Amino acid sequence: MGRTATERVEGTAGGFLFVGEALALDLVNTEVVVRGKRTDLLDAPNALAAWWRAARARYPDAFGGAGDPAVSPDDGALPAATALREALRQIFGAVADGRDGRVIAAPDLSVLNRVLATGYQAVVIDGGGALRPIVGSRDTGPDGTLLPVARSAFELLTTKDPARLHRCSNDRCVLLFYDTTKSATRRWCSVGCMNRARSAARYRSHLAEKAASALPPGAATGG
């Protein structure tokens, strides 16, 4: 039986999760909780490059079809990537909590908008003579490289249903996702997380029952 993505992360810290259904959410999801401890999967520049390759394979459309493999974050891009990730965590967190946009701090929005501002749209003629839209960045630095992530956030925040953006219902989990199910009933980042949360709840109610039955006779009714 195949292991879930969460189990992979718990097994090997180098694994990445793609459970968010949006590139921007899965950048945020590079911070995970492993055995109760907050863990940053982008803890080194080569980790960012590895995530980038995996993200391009998972979300080819967000990178403009296959994406340009030549455009990949270099070592200097890690601080920009983690700054964008933190800003997106705050912004998406506010949306997931159903908060008014005014609770979002201006600097967080500025981080996102600065990356978006490097982008442009153009029409090009492809090899077959057809007109094709492209999106490019004027910035050859980290902000320009991160444009696909910022555009994913832009799309999520402006064209999707905010009521479908959720935090995982396991209160020990920090992952975010966009619910794409027809029934709009997804509440967990993964089946593994749902099972862990449910068994933790069962354990807590078992402890509560044990505590109640351990009370001296009459104590429960107040005498």
| Nearest-approach distance from CB 168 to Zn ion, in angstroms | 3
**Inter-residue contact 58 to 26 (CB < 8 Å):** yes
**Pick from 25, 13, 19: nearest CA to 191:** 19
Binding mask 130-169 for Zn ion (x = CB under 5 A): --------------------------------------x-
Q: Which is nearer to Zn ion, 165 or 173 (CB)?
A: 173
Q: Give the Cα separation of 70 and 178 in Å (integer).
A: 29
Q: Which is nearer to Zn ion, 66 or 191 (CB)?
A: 191
Residue 17 in contact with Zn ion, rule: CB under 5 A:
no
Q: Give the Cα separation of 173 and 167 in Å (integer).
A: 8
Strands 119-125 and 37-40: unpaired
Residue 33 in contact with Zn ion, rule: CB under 5 A:
no
Residue 194 in contact with Zn ion, rule: CB under 5 A:
no
Q: Which is nearer to Zn ion, 91 or 173 (CB)?
A: 173
Residue 104 in contact with Zn ion, rule: CB under 5 A:
no
Residue 18, number of CB atoms within 10 A of its CB: 17
Per rule CB under 5 A, count of chain residues that contact Zn ion: 6
